[in-house]
Amino acid sequence: MKSHILIKNGRVIDPSINKDELCDILIEDGIIKQLGPKLIAPNNSTIINAANKIVCPGFIDVHCHLREPGEEHKETIATGTKAAAAGGFTTVCTMPNTIPPTDNRSVVELIKNTAVKEGVIRVLPIACVTAGSLGNTLTEMYDLATAGVIGFSDDGNPVENSNIMRQALNYSADLNLPIINHCETKELSQGTVMNEGWVATQLGLRGMPNASEETMVARDIALAQLTGGHVHIAHVSTAGSLELIRQAKLKNINVTCEVTPHHLTLSDILIMGSNKTLNEFSITNSAYNTNAKVNPPLRSNADMEEMVNGLNDGTIDMIATDHAPHSAPDKICTFNEAAFGISVLETALASALTLVHEKKSDINTIINKLTFSPAKFLNSDFGTLQKGRSADITIFDLDKKWLVEPSRFISKGKNSPLNGTYLKGKVETTIFRGKIIYP
Amino acid sequence: MNIDEKHTNKNMLDLDSFSQKDFKTLFLNTDSMMGILSKDIKKIPALRGKSIVTLFFEPSTRTRASFEQAGKILNADVINISSMGSSVTKGESLHNTALTIQSMKCDIIIIRHPDSGAPYFLSKYLNNTIIINAGDGMHAHPTQALLDLYIMQKHLKTFKNKKVVIVGDLLHSRVARSNIWGLITLGADITVCGPRTLLPQDWFKYESLPYKHPFNKITIETKIENALHNADVIMALRIQKERQVNGLLPSMREYSKLYGITDKRMQIANDNAIVMHPGPVNEGIEIDSDVVHGNQSVIQKQVTTGVAIRMALLYTLCVGTYKNESE
């Protein structure tokens, strides 16, 4: 007997088919069977009442760290995918900074097999650009591509050698896969722990100038132009980078980029903490908030506002989490000692929806950047509610207010700077291949 | 500082939240402590039964000895722990080290740490111990600034319309940052001077600083002659040799040529201007030997005052306003 789920009366938003209307969705055996008003449920259907809720394709995260293999005390494929499901994601792409690094077929297969056995959503690995992410020799990209990776990245270790980057773009162009680069010129960021600017100056912390990102973005664009390869700029964070990408896109250079929810909504001033005493710039022991330490760092307010403009005008292609879970000792220490990274999966949607509630962006744009746009980047057939496609669906309440309590995260990473704040917008149900995986 | 009697935990982390009233109270107590330091028998029982731990993760002579001397004169028991030869070298985290010390029922931890914010970290996790910042990374060195400000106060009488010039490595200086906060609260005119490589880049982008930020009151000057014009106080900062290695300075020689405080340059300043330095001085680089030992220099006085300020601070944090020494 066939299994059915009927999602009734939701506001269905699917940018892939330009849809934003009240209607029902019928799922049959994991596949979207029908989309339309007042559908009739077959016998024994599971009925989900989505009245006053938004129904959209399951979210796709092209950049996250699930820490397995190697750092299972921080996250596993099991906990990470469950956390992702709670955040409305049905597909995640995992960065290759595993231990050992994802630079050969066996690690890719390990991740994929573990995901099938223990994960609850689709896990698509990203492989290293260079062996061991050491920046010297290219990985066996063809072999890795046939093993199923969706792109190449040396993640936190930018490809520093320009010639290696050139050859990587050349070689991967033939495979039609992107080189994803974390743009950071290390000479300009040596020893830095946050954004360079007045906050860093006041706190006595070493700051990373915007130029450290922008110099490498400029180089990568030039190399993409030279080779015709596809460069994807990971977690863009400065206004200057955005301007370079905007110009490159006008010239039809093969460049795409992503932004994280935190670079859209938080700025470096967060590291100063709250509860000002003598004046609004004096600090207390809520300063030096290690949960706000991330790379690229939270930038200035001006950069943050420019990220939102870039999202709205299409310069930024997608929202990616850069979910980077850490264990408690990695963050219970001084700011210099603390690990970089934020646990994002379970707050990503609500953070992004802040832009909708503050009227800085609109709901269709946000959903597009979480679904159809990353799906195009992956050349995938999911991320859409078209008939016949995999029933990956997220249902959320746009207005539901909730308190961020990291101790209740499903992710092992409790490292969220949003700890104790209220957000608006909560995932109610996540469906992957026709199966309810959250709650 | 919270000199609020109701607070069970009073700390000295930095001067950014130190009010004019706080300065007044502390300086009054310091006057009394200066009196005790000038006596033959330098001992009062004010902190009898209190224990102090100095927890130093960086080398230090004067600050640490000064705190120890201050504690001992007040009759507290002082234990010195340094990162060398402690369990820190065995990989113990700062968090666990601090909890261990608190569990031993120590009353005060005086911490120096290469990481900015380390004392704030301790104050967040230790609820029953007073934390005093003896220098954290590039962030703050409030007791050094307090003693500097005390000397300036005695010399200037009032800070209003008085020009204080801080010369040197402002980028890395915790002494300068703490002094700046105090000088802002006390109402002095502040000028900082140094090569652009040793000044925070954002100080040259005025638009980036929020309009209401107190640091807007700082005047930036890269020419020493302009900076010293009409100066009432000149504070030279220590230049670390490694700044040259890191490419921030072409040579110590060129620095000294451009920014060294010489007799000749002193003539640009006001006649009765004083010269300060947090020490240790690189004589002939930051300040010429003649000036270091000249009659406008208060560098040795800074050391004595350092003990009195720290006595006053320990007293104020543990007991309150100092009334008389036999209390």
Write the pLDDT tens digit of every residue in A8-44: 999 999 999 999 999 999 999 999 999 999 999 888 8
Fold of the B142-302 domain: Rossmann fold (3.40.50)
Question: Residue A400: which pLDDT band, with cuts at 50, 70 and 90?
Answer: very high
pLDDT confidence of residue A14: 97
Which residue is closest to B173 within chain A, CA to CA? Answer: A204
DSSP B79-133: EEEESTTSGGGGT--HHHHHHHHHHTT-SEEEEEESSTTHHHHHHHH-SSSEEEE
Least Cα separation, residue B194 to chain A (angstroms) = 16
Chain B residue numbers with beta carbons less than 8 Å from the beta carbon of A336 are: 114-116, 137
Q: Distance from B326 to chain A by nearest Cα, in Å?
A: 34
Query: Above 50 in pLDDT, residue B4?
Result: no
Q: What is the mean pLDDT of chain A?
A: 96
- What pLDDT is recorded for position A1? 76
Specify whether the backbone of B46 is left (phi greater than 0), alpha (psi in -120 to 50) or beta: alpha
Please choose, from the candidates B21, B30, B22, B1, the residue with its C-alpha nearest in 3D space to the C-alpha of residue B13: B1
User: Residues of chain A whose C-beta is under 8 A from some C-beta in B?
Assistant: 196-198, 200-206, 209, 277-288, 300, 329, 332-337
Same fold, B20-140+304-318 and B142-302: yes
Q: What is the pLDDT of residue A309?
A: 98
Of B115, B123, B181, the CB nearest to A336: B115
Task: Kindly list the structural domains of chain A, giving each domain's residue range(s) and its CATH number in brackets, ordered by start.
Answer: 58-379 (3.20.20.140)
CB pairs under 8 A between A and B: 99
Is residue A437 within 8 A of residue A390, CB to CB? The reply is no
Chain B residues touching residue A280 (CB < 8 angstroms): 212
pLDDT of B321 reads 57
A159: its two tokens = 């490809």
| Four-way CATH pick for B20-140+304-318: 3.40.50.720, 3.40.1830.10, 3.40.50.970, 3.40.50.1370 | 3.40.50.1370
> What count of Cα atoms within 13 Å lies in the side-chain half-sphere of residue A254?
19
Unique residue bearing structure tokens 């499903």: A410
CB atoms within 10 A of CB B314: 29
pLDDT tens-digit readout, A211-247: 999 999 999 999 999 999 999 999 999 999 999 999 9
Mutation to test the B interface, candidates A187, A192, A285, A304, most B Cβ within 10 Å: A285
Q: For residues A250 and A225, what is the distance between their CA atoms, to the nearest angstrom?
A: 12
What is the per-residue pLDDT for B1? 43
CB contacts of B174 in chain A (<8 Å) are 204
Task: Give pLDDT tens digits for A87-146.
Answer: 999 999 999 999 999 999 999 999 999 999 999 999 999 999 999 999 999 999 999 999
Question: For residue B141, what is the nearest residue in chain A, using CA coordinates?
Answer: A204
pLDDT in tens, A249-262: 999 999 999 999 99
User: CB distance A334–B174 less than 8 Å?
Assistant: no
Distance of CA A306 to the CA centre of its chain: 18
Residues of A in contact with B137 (CB under 8 A): 204-205, 336
Closest C-alpha to A430, from A42, A83, A20, A21: A83
- Judged against a pLDDT cut of 90, whether residue A56 lies above it is answered with yes
State the Cα–Cα distance between residues A79 and A63, nearest whole angstrom.
16
Q: Which of A169, A373, A141, A162 is nearest to A253 (CA)?
A: A169
Task: Give the span between the Cα atoms of A52 and B41, in whole angstroms.
Answer: 81
Q: Which among A197, A203, A286 is the nearest to B139, CB-wise?
A: A203
From the number of C-beta atoms within 10 Å of its C-beta (0-12, 13-18, 19+), residue A276 rates as middle
Q: Residue A211: what are its φ and ψ, rounded to 5°? A: -60, -25
B325 to chain A, minimum CA–CA distance in Å? 31
Say if the Cβ atoms of A334 and B93 lie within 8 Å. no
pLDDT band at A181 (very low <50, low <70, confident <90, very high): very high
pLDDT exceeds 90 at position A285: no
The ipTM value here is 0.92
Q: How confident is the model at residue B182 (pLDDT cuts 50, 70, 90)?
A: very high
A279 CB neighbours in chain B (<8 A) are 16, 214
pLDDT score, position A329: 93
Residue in A202, A272, A291, A327 to test binding to B, most B beta-carbons within 10 Å = A202
Residue in A24, A103, A268, A322 annotated catalytic: A322
**A334·B16 Cβ contact <8 A:** no
Residue A322 a catalytic site member: yes
Chain A residues in contact with B175 by the CB 8 A cut-off are none
Instruction: Check residue A43 and give its pLDDT.
Output: 86
Smallest Cβ–Cβ distance between B120 and the set A202, A279, A287 belongs to A287
Please name the member of B2, B95, B177 whose beta carbon is closest to the beta carbon of A333. Answer: B95
What is the share, in percent, of chain A residues with pLDDT greater than 70? 99
Q: How confident is the model at residue B5 (pLDDT cuts 50, 70, 90)?
A: very low
If we measure between CA atoms, which residue out of B186, B174, B104 comes closest to residue B133? B174
What is the reported pLDDT for B3?
41
Average pLDDT, integer, range A272-290? 82
Contact call for residues B177 and B144 (beta carbons, < 8 A): no
Q: What is the pLDDT of residue B6?
A: 36
Q: Which residues of A touch B16 (CB under 8 A)?
A: 278-279, 281-283
In this prediction the pTM is 0.93
Domain boundaries, chain B: 20-140+304-318, 142-302
| Contact status, residue A88 vs residue A396, Cβ threshold 8 Å | yes
Which of A279, A286, A300 is nearest residue B214 as measured by Cβ atoms?
A279
Per-residue confidence at B181, pLDDT binned at 50, 70, 90?
A: very high
Of the residues A201, A206, A238, A289, the best mutation for testing chain B's interface (the one with the most B CB atoms within 10 Å of its CB) is A201
pLDDT band of B247, cuts 50, 70, 90: confident
State the CB neighbour count (10 A cutoff) for residue B250.
Answer: 11
Mean pLDDT to the nearest integer, B281-304 = 94
Burial bucket for residue B323 (CB in 10 Å: 0-12, 13-18, 19+): exposed
User: Please, how many CA atoms are within 13 Å of residue A226, restricted to the half-sphere of its CB?
Assistant: 15
The answer to whether B43 touches B18, Cβ cutoff 8 Å, is no
**Per-residue exposure over A16-43, b if at least 16 CB sit within 10 Å of its own CB, e if not:** beebeeebbbbbbebebbebeeebeeee
DSSP character for A421?
Answer: -
Residue B66 predicted with pLDDT over 90 = yes
